[in-house]
Amino acid sequence: MARRKIKGRDLAGQIGITEQNLSLLKSGKVKGVRFETLARLCAALDCQPGDLLEASDISKG
């Protein structure tokens, strides 16, 4: 977001989610994300899904 100079409020509105949900996505406090939401994020930020996601060890949870 910083590289694209876009505010959370603007990005959330552009992709059709609430600022609160965007905040949860950014903090990693969600267990999943819809492919449609991921696609909209990537389109808005001009990036690939791998730029936004990181793997976690599900065996710990």
The tens digit of pLDDT for each residue in 12-56 reads 999 999 999 999 999 988 888 999 999 999 999 999 999 998 877
61 SS3 class: coil
Helix axes 19-27 and 8-15, enclosed angle (nearest 10)? 110
Which parts of 1-61 fold into alpha helices (H)?
A: 8-15, 19-27, 35-45, 49-52
Whole-structure pTM value? 0.80
43 within 8 A of 4, measured Cβ to Cβ: no
